[in-house]
């Protein structure tokens, strides 16, 4: 097993732990956060705020490095163009997220509970990703990395 795969597994373990500890794995909690007009639960703002601190530190550290520790280069998108795909895709994602309270990370983490709802959502999500891959996403994207 390569060191990069080991690093992925370790990062995933930390990520999954964070989703459970923060209770973001619970769709009812997410919907209560999104329900600003109802009995608003602000706790997910603390998840986002807490997550941004180490993430921002890492992106600042990155500026002084030419390559990550385990690879020869960074693969961070350099594209700055805000286009219709970005906005439409984000709007669709927001719609689906608001309908049931699952976004991709927590839904995948919830597979660990064996809940059929999570299995159904993730299966449908993969079908949705396939639909994109074989329609608008059928061409190899021309990514620019920095």
Partner 1 sequence: MSAMTEINYLWPLAGGLLIGLSAGLYLLLNGRIAGISGLAAAAAGLTHDGVSKLGLGFLGGIIAGAWLAAALIRQPDITITSSPGLLIAAGLIVGYGTRLGSGCTSGHGVCGLARLSPRSVAATVTFMAVAGVTVFVTRHLLGVLS
**Subset of residues 93 to 132 that bind partner 1, contact rule: CB under 8 A:** 93-105, 107-113, 115, 117-118, 120-132
β-pair partners for 145: 77
Question: Contacts with partner 1: how many residues (CB under 8 A)?
Answer: 114
Phi first, then psi: give them for residue 26, nearest 5 degrees.
Answer: -95, 110
Supply the minimum distance, in Å, between the C-beta of residue 42 and partner 1.
Answer: 8
Kindly state whether residue 65 participates in binding partner 1, applying the rule CB under 8 A: yes
CA distance 98 to 122: 16
Supply the minimum distance, in Å, between the C-beta of residue 114 and partner 1.
Answer: 10
Query: For residue 86, what are its two tokens?
Result: 């970005």
Would you tell me how many other CB atoms lie within 10 Å of the CB of residue 93?
Answer: 12
Kindly state whether residue 142 participates in binding partner 1, applying the rule CB under 8 A: no
Residues 3-62 that bind partner 1 (CB under 8 A): 4-28, 31, 34-38, 43-44, 46-59, 61-62
CA distance 146 to 143: 10
Supply the minimum distance, in Å, between the C-beta of residue 60 and partner 1.
Answer: 9
Q: Residue 21: helix, strand or coil by DSSP?
A: helix
Supply the minimum distance, in Å, between the C-beta of residue 88 and partner 1.
Answer: 6
Kindly state whether residue 64 participates in binding partner 1, applying the rule CB under 8 A: no
Exposed / middle / buried, residue 138 (Cβ in 10 Å: 0-12, 13-18, 19+): exposed
Residues written for the chain: 146
Supply the minimum distance, in Å, between the C-beta of residue 135 and partner 1.
Answer: 9
């Amino acid at each position: 097993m390569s060191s990069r795969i080991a690093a992925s597994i370790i990062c995933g373990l930390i990520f999954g732990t964070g989703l459970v500890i923060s209770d973001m794995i619970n769709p009812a909690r997410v919907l209560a956060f999104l329900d600003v007009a109802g009995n608003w639960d602000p706790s997910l703002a603390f998840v986002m705020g807490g997550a941004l601190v180490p993430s921002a530190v890492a992106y600042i550290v990155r500026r002084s490095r030419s390559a990550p520790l385990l690879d020869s280069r960074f693969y961070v998108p350099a594209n700055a163009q805000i286009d219709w795909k970005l906005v439409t895709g984000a709007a669709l994602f927001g719609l689906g997220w608001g309908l049931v309270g699952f976004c991709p990370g927590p839904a995948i983490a919830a597979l660990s509970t064996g809940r059929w709802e999570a299995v159904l959502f993730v299966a449908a999500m993969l079908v949705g990703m396939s639909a994109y891959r074989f329609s608008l996403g059928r061409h190899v994207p021309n990514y620019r990395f920095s």
